[in-house]
Amino acid sequence: MSAQMNKNSSNIMALAPNTSNKRETVCIFGTGDFGRALGYKMIQSGYPVVFGSRSTQASSLIPKDAEVLSHAEAAQKAAIIIIAIQRQHYNFLTPLAEVLHGKVLVDVSNNLKINQYPESNAEYLAQLVPGAKVVKAFNTVSAWALQSGTLDASRQVFVCGDDMEAKQMVMDIVRALGLTPLDQGSLLAAQEIENYPLKLFPMWKFPILLSLGLSAFFFFYCLARDVIYPYVYENKDFSFFIAISIPNRICPILALILLALVYLPGVLAAIIQLYRGTKYRRFPDWLDKWMLCRKQLGLVALAFASLHVLYTLVIPIRSFVRWRLSGRIISQALNNKTEPLNTTNAWLSDSYLALGILGFFLFALLGITSLPSVSNNVNWREFRFVQSKLGYLTLILCTAHTLVYGGNRFLSPSSYRWYLPNAYMLCLIVPCIVLVVKFVLIFPCLDKPLTRIRQGWERNPQYSEQSNYIINKTAV
Ligand code: NAP
């Protein structure tokens, strides 16, 4: 009973950082980059540090307040031993099994490839030294960040292990170093923690590949229509369009399509839920993955919209634009005839610009609210309001901006070259579909059942039927 109480109280105590001035000695195996960086940081935080190394000769690289001993001697001086050595050299620990018995071994290692070994390095260490309590920690922190103090973006340290007390001891050290421990559970989580630093922008893969594919498609599409066609039929060389004109077509096209693709999965999910009459069945995997990367899709769209703004700003100083303007003025002067102001065109042009400015403003607002520092400061309802209501308003404004840009050219035969419509007409397909379907979904006959489904109502409630059956049977 008292042993149990002691155990409990030690766990409770361990939850708070160790506030006593005297800190326990920590042993670090390995005097490489990471071992030394961790050693420096620990000495700064008041921990006596002893290194276990193959060579006990003093080196100027090793923190001067630290002792360097053989592995066996160093291990005897501390209850916690940090193994700052690559996994492939762990074999040297086997003869030390006796001295390591009962010690807390902290595995900090990383691999070169995801799932490189069948078991995690930490589990491998636990197999090699079965008498020790292995804890995985620190692998997501780099030696450089530890030494330079630039840990702003990576203050979180994932910790996992099977022994609660050992894990708490390591978490106390993490806190004492000014970092934030995140308990990830048992040693089974080690593989995931080891894979974490090897992942390369996992959520960005789909948005980036998609935008690369769409950019390539629209580049060749515009090249054929705007450069090759005039060259073939009019013998005009517009190859310089590749520098500004074509990118300034691709950027708004991609911004609009990607923005629409942020809202399309939500619309599809609503249709699926209405069709199934329940929210308790999983969406297809592709839809789940698509929903998870909506923020990244939106940010890539914002990047394209920002580029469009920059490209548009330089239009007045382009030599081609100035040549065309002066040509018009000279022809009016030569013909002694001033073109009257076309108010319809002036309206179209001003509305087009106004819609673009407002659309971009809201687009930027959406981007800002998706930043963690901002989204953490708004509640769930506020976040949904910005991302959903303002998001749809942004999509409406940007779609209208493109529609007004088309103006009366949509039906003009001259805007079709090789029967190909202008690229901006193609980019209107997805946003128009999203907006029309969303508009239909707002109708009460669809919105009401959808809201009820999202609140848990089911058209064919299988589970409650079963429970009703059980209740009825028990009553009988
Ligand atoms: P390192 O510079 O290559 O140092 C590893 C140390 O291991 C060596 O200095 C050596 O220390 C010891 N060692 C080498 N061969 C050995 C052998 N056959 N037997 C026993 N000890 C041997 O590597 P590191 O960059 O410090 O990384 C150490 C561990 O930390 C790795 O598992 C790595 O994945 C992990 N890590 C590193 C970083 C980082 O930013 N570098 C970040 C997170 C995690 P002695 O000469 O003193 O024996």
Higher pLDDT pick, 342 / 183: 183
Q: What's the confidence (pLDDT) of residue 154?
A: 65
Q: What's the confidence (pLDDT) of residue 97?
A: 94
Higher pLDDT pick, 2 / 123: 123
Residue nearest to atom 11 of ligand 1 (CA): 30
Residue % of the chain over a pLDDT of 90: 63
Higher pLDDT pick, 106 / 282: 106
Q: What is the pLDDT of residues 375-399, one digit of tens each?
A: 778 788 888 888 888 999 999 999 9
Q: What is the pLDDT of residues 323-357, one digit of tens each?
A: 999 998 999 899 888 888 889 888 988 999 999 99
Residue nearest to atom 27 of ligand 1 (CA): 34
Q: What's the confidence (pLDDT) of residue 387?
A: 81
Whole-model pTM: value is 0.70
For residue 117, which of 86, 139, 147 has the smallest C-alpha distance?
A: 86
Task: Tell me if 27 CB under 6 Å of ligand 1.
Answer: no
Q: Which of 61, 86, 154 to mutate to test the pocket of ligand 1 (most atoms within 8 A of CB)?
A: 86
464 exposure class (CB count in 10 Å sphere: 0-12, 13-18, 19+): exposed
Q: What's the confidence (pLDDT) of residue 11?
A: 39
- Give the pLDDT band (50/70/90) at residue 199: confident
429 secondary structure, DSSP code: H
- Partner residues linked to 50 by β-bridges: 27, 67
Helix (H) or strand (E) holding 13: helix 2-15
Task: Tell me if 394 CB under 6 Å of ligand 1.
Answer: no
Task: Tell me if 139 CB under 6 Å of ligand 1.
Answer: yes
The residue whose two tokens read 């002893």 is 50
pLDDT at 203 over 90: no
Task: Tell me if 163 CB under 6 Å of ligand 1.
Answer: no
Q: What's the confidence (pLDDT) of residue 174?
A: 95
pLDDT at 157 over 50: yes
What is the distance between the alpha carbons of residues 254 and 402, in angstroms, rounded to a whole number? Answer: 12
Q: Which DSSP string corresponds to 384-441?
A: HIIIIIIHHHHHHHHHHHHHHHHGGGSS-GGG-BTTBPPHHHHTTHHHHHHHHHHHHH
Residue nearest to atom 18 of ligand 1 (CA): 89
Neighbours of 300 (CB within 10 A): 23
Q: What's the confidence (pLDDT) of residue 382?
A: 83
Q: What's the confidence (pLDDT) of residue 460?
A: 79
Tell me how far the alpha carbon of residue 39 lies from the centroid of ligand 1, in angstroms: 13
Residue % of the chain over a pLDDT of 70: 91
For residue 15, which of 175, 163, 203 has the smallest C-alpha distance?
A: 175
pLDDT at 247 over 90: yes
Lowest-pLDDT choice from 34-43, 116-125, 336-345, 448-457: 336-345
pLDDT at 201 over 90: no
Q: What is the pLDDT of residues 6-61, one digit of tens each?
A: 444 333 344 444 445 678 999 999 999 999 999 999 999 999 999 999 998 878 88
What is the distance between the alpha carbons of residues 227 and 139, in angstroms, rounded to a whole number? Answer: 53
